[in-house]
């Protein structure tokens, strides 16, 4: 007779620090899973406290409160085995942990072996790695527990000295990485349960599949992968949890960017085929990520709504669409602030966009304020010719007006600058950079257009002229972006090569980029670092954004050769 175990994957959206709320959510999912006949329920990494808690993990009281929340959770769980992620302090050492809760008590606790310390991850700052496997049995099936990074990297024999971990030596990646799955296998596990808080970036799921298939093939164990969903500051988690059978085939796939509960039936250690969510296009996936990032940032931080300054251009149009789709148009306000340089086309297109989205729209001309500032500065400026100073002054007047509305009504200002502009500093400090959350901060200009086309494919709300006209800041007569920047296809390619993929200037030139273009863009990237440090955080959708995983000095004279 086959040994059958029903596993529930709880793909949940947790809030960092909301221990009671997260515990209640987990309990609710436990009840739903138990009512559906599940034997085991698997939650994401650090689900009890939310991920990433960052420097909350340096506070002793945080661990005590997390432990109290875990004890309370354990007392209320019955009729199902829960695997829950949480931080844990043991004899003065702090761990990224997962506990197995059964019959109203914690029966096993596992400590994450491999602590990632790259891109957005800083776990070596907070935790000590574990050095022992965790295997528990339900019915006749034995389950191993791993946490996220434990399963990444090449597999190999268990040659690491366990005492090195116990005495506090940091284990380098090639000495320990991905030994945890093999350790679980050697301890008798048949199925590997992996708790994850794996943030989204484009094409991330492909790499997850590739790596997890390697672990399955190397160990001979099937694998169930539960990932967190939701926005947390600049990170957004896509969920996309799944199960692989012992051949590495996907037998269950959960949807992206949605909280959900899905079930996998395991018969004699082999997951059976279940629900397979439809795969979305790249543009649809990114758009969902941006909507979820806005919804959670605004909602989790208690803002009543959002403000967007419209310009008639493509960036503000996309930002307004995302805000309306994320929050509902009734919680969004669009403000157009025309100057003498604002074209009739921009006014007409902004009005049409707001009408199509059914969002409140107001116009506040900045001409009187601009004239007043010029009058105040006339003596100081003397006969000096107009330059970028007057352009930036207009942007700063608009930023001041938006922030005044934000202060008065409580709504957060969503800035509209894209990654191409942020890279080269084509933005005004305290002007169009003023705000609380930068929605498209990690979206290159060329992708902005693709996302607008995608949104119009859902419902044609963005006027066609917005997508076909030459982009312009409209801060002086007859201005276009290309007066100051290379063409966006060239600019974006160089930004992606240098900033996202770490190619040197010489390597880019060798690949066919013009030396003068590379030099110009790279110099602008470094000169603009001081601006980016003062910019609001924004949603990360690439494997390297201007934020947690870009940490360059502002004051630096280092420059790489171009030949």
Strand partners for 332:
306
Residue 561 neighbours by CB distance under 10 Å: 8
185-223 burial: b if 16+ Cβ within 10 Å, else e: beeebbbbbbbbbbbbbeebbeebbeebbbbbeebebbb
pLDDT tens digits, 211-262: 999 999 999 999 999 999 999 999 999 999 999 999 999 999 999 999 999 9
pLDDT tens digits, 512-526: 999 999 999 999 999
Q: What pLDDT, on the 0 to 100 scale, is given for residue 178? A: 57
pLDDT tens digits, 279-310: 889 999 999 999 999 999 999 999 999 999 99
Looking at the structure, do residues 119 and 248 belong to the same domain, yes or no? yes
Mean pLDDT across the stretch 268-274? 92
Asked which of 430, 454, 485 is the last residue of a domain, the reply is 485
Residue 172, pLDDT > 60, answer no
The CATH number of the domain holding residue 416 is: 3.40.50.620
Strand partners for 307:
333, 413
| Gap between the Cα atoms of 16 and 539, Å rounded | 17
- Least confident range from 114-123, 155-164, 365-374, 439-448: namely 155-164
Asked which of 250, 279, 308 is the last residue of a domain, the reply is 279
**Among 44, 52, 51, which Cα is nearest to 84's?**
44
Q: What pLDDT, on the 0 to 100 scale, is given for residue 215? A: 94
| Gap between the Cα atoms of 134 and 84, Å rounded | 13
pLDDT tens digits, 417-435: 999 999 999 999 999 999 9
With helix as H, strand as E and coil as C, how does 358-369 read?
CCEEEECCCHHH
Residue 40, pLDDT > 90, answer yes
Q: Beta 141-147 vs 135-138: how paired, if at all? A: antiparallel
Is 270 inside a domain boundary?
yes
Is 526 inside a domain boundary?
no
Which one of 14, 30, 45, 452 is the catalytic residue?
45
Is 524 inside a domain boundary?
no
Asked which of 232, 261, 279 is the last residue of a domain, the reply is 279
Is 347 inside a domain boundary?
yes
Q: What pLDDT, on the 0 to 100 scale, is given for residue 153? A: 62
Looking at the structure, do residues 66 and 123 belong to the same domain, yes or no? yes
Q: What pLDDT, on the 0 to 100 scale, is given for residue 189? A: 95
Q: What are phi and psi of 150, to 5 degrees?
A: -55, -30
Active site residue 148: yes
Q: What pLDDT, on the 0 to 100 scale, is given for residue 563? A: 79
Looking at the structure, do residues 295 and 244 belong to the same domain, yes or no? no
Is 212 inside a domain boundary?
yes
Q: Say which residue the tokens 């790695």 belong to.
A: 129
Residue 481, pLDDT > 80, answer no
Is 429 inside a domain boundary?
yes
- Least confident range from 93-107, 166-180, 322-336: namely 166-180
Q: How many CA atoms lie within 13 A of 442 on its CB side?
A: 27
Q: Name the pLDDT band for 163 (thresholds 50, 70, 90).
A: very low
Residue 174, pLDDT > 70, answer no
Active site residue 476: no
Looking at the structure, do residues 39 and 72 belong to the same domain, yes or no? yes
The CATH number of the domain holding residue 94 is: 3.60.110.10
Q: What pLDDT, on the 0 to 100 scale, is given for residue 474? A: 64
Q: What pLDDT, on the 0 to 100 scale, is given for residue 484? A: 74
Looking at the structure, do residues 322 and 200 belong to the same domain, yes or no? no
Mean pLDDT across the stretch 473-490? 78
Residue 164, pLDDT > 60, answer no
Looking at the structure, do residues 23 and 59 belong to the same domain, yes or no? yes
Q: What pLDDT, on the 0 to 100 scale, is given for residue 418? A: 96
Q: Which helix (H) or strand (E) holds 242?
A: strand 242-244
Which one of 6, 25, 112, 445 is the catalytic residue?
112
Active site residue 49: no
pLDDT tens digits, 346-366: 999 999 999 999 999 999 999
Distances (CA, A) of 174 to 58, 152, 177, 215, 252: 28, 11, 6, 16, 31
Looking at the structure, do residues 291 and 268 belong to the same domain, yes or no? no
Q: Is the Cα dihedral 502, 125, 185, 173 positive or negative?
A: positive
Q: What pLDDT, on the 0 to 100 scale, is given for residue 272? A: 94
Looking at the structure, do residues 275 and 295 belong to the same domain, yes or no? no
Looking at the structure, do residues 76 and 207 belong to the same domain, yes or no? yes
Which one of 14, 49, 134, 148 is the catalytic residue?
148
Average pLDDT, the chain: 92
Is 516 inside a domain boundary?
no
Q: How many structural domains compose the chain? A: 2
Looking at the structure, do residues 336 and 383 belong to the same domain, yes or no? yes
Range of the domain at 178: 4-279
Is 241 inside a domain boundary?
yes
Looking at the structure, do residues 267 and 152 belong to the same domain, yes or no? yes
pLDDT tens digits, 544-563: 999 988 989 999 988 888 87
Looking at the structure, do residues 142 and 270 belong to the same domain, yes or no? yes
């Amino acid at each position: 007779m086959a040994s059958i175990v029903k596993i529930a994957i709880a793909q949940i959206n947790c809030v960092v620090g909301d221990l009671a709320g997260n515990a209640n959510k987990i309990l609710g999912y436990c009840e739903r899973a138990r009512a559906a006949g599940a034997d085991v329920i698997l939650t994401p990494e650090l689900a009890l406290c939310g991920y990433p808690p960052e420097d909350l993990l340096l506070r002793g009281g945080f661990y005590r409160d997390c432990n109290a929340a875990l004890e309370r959770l354990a007392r209320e769980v019955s009729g199902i085995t829960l695997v829950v992620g949480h931080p844990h302090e043991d004899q003065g050492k702090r761990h990224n942990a997962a506990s197995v809760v059964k019959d109203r008590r914690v029966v096993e606790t596992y400590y994450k072996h491999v602590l990632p310390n790259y891109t957005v991850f800083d776990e070596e700052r907070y935790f000590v790695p574990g050095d022992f496997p965790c295997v528990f049995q339900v019915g006749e099936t034995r389950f191993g527990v791993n946490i996220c990074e434990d399963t990444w990297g090449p597999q190999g024999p268990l040659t690491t000295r366990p005492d090195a971990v116990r005495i506090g030596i940091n284990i380098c990646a090639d000495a320990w990485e991905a030994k945890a799955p093999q350790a679980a296998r050697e301890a008798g596990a048949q199925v590997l349960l992996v708790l994850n808080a794996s943030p989204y970036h484009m094409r991330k799921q492909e790499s997850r599949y590739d790596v997890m298939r390697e672990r399955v093939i190397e160990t001979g164990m099937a694998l169930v992968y539960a990932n967190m969903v939701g926005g947390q500051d600049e990170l957004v988690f896509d969920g996309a949890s799944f199960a692989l059978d012992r051949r590495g085939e996907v037998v269950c796939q959960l949807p992206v960017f949605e909280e959900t509960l899905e079930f996998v039936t395991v018969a004699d250690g082999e997951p059976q085929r279940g629900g397979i969510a439809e795969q979305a296009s790249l543009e649809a996936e990114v758009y969902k990520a941006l909507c979820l990032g806005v919804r959670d940032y605004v909602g989790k931080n208690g803002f009543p709504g959002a403000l967007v300054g419209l310009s008639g251009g493509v960036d503000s149009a996309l930002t307004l669409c995302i805000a309306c789709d994320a929050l509902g148009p009734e919680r969004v306000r669009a403000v157009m602030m025309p100057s003498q340089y604002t074209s009739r086309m921009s006014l007409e297109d902004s009005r049409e966009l707001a009408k199509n989205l059914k969002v409140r729209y107001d116009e506040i001309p900045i001409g009187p304020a601009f004239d007043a500032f010029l009058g105040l500065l006339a003596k100081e400026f003397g006969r000096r010719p107009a330059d970028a100073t007057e352009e930036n002054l207009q942007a700063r007047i608009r930023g001041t007006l938006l922030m005044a509305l934000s202060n008065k009504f409580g709504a957060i200002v969503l800035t509209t600058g894209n990654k191409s502009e942020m890279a080269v500093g084509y933005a005004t400090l305290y002007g169009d950079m003023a705000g609380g959350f930068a929605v498209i901060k990690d979206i290159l200009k060329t992708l902005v257009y693709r996302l607008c086309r995608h949104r119009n494919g859902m419902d044609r709300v963005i006027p066609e002229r917005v997508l076909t006209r030459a982009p312009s800041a409209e801060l002086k007569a007859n201005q276009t972006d290309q007066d100051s920047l290379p063409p966006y296809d060239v600019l974006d390619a160089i930004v992606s090569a240098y900033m996202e993929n770490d190619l040197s200037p010489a390597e880019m030139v060798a690949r066919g980029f013009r030396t003068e273009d590379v030099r110009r863009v790279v110099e602008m990237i470094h000169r603009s670092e001081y601006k980016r440090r003062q910019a609001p955080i924004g949603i990360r959708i690439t494997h390297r954004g201007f934020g947690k995983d870009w940490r360059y000095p502002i004051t630096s004279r280092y420059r790489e050769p171009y030949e």
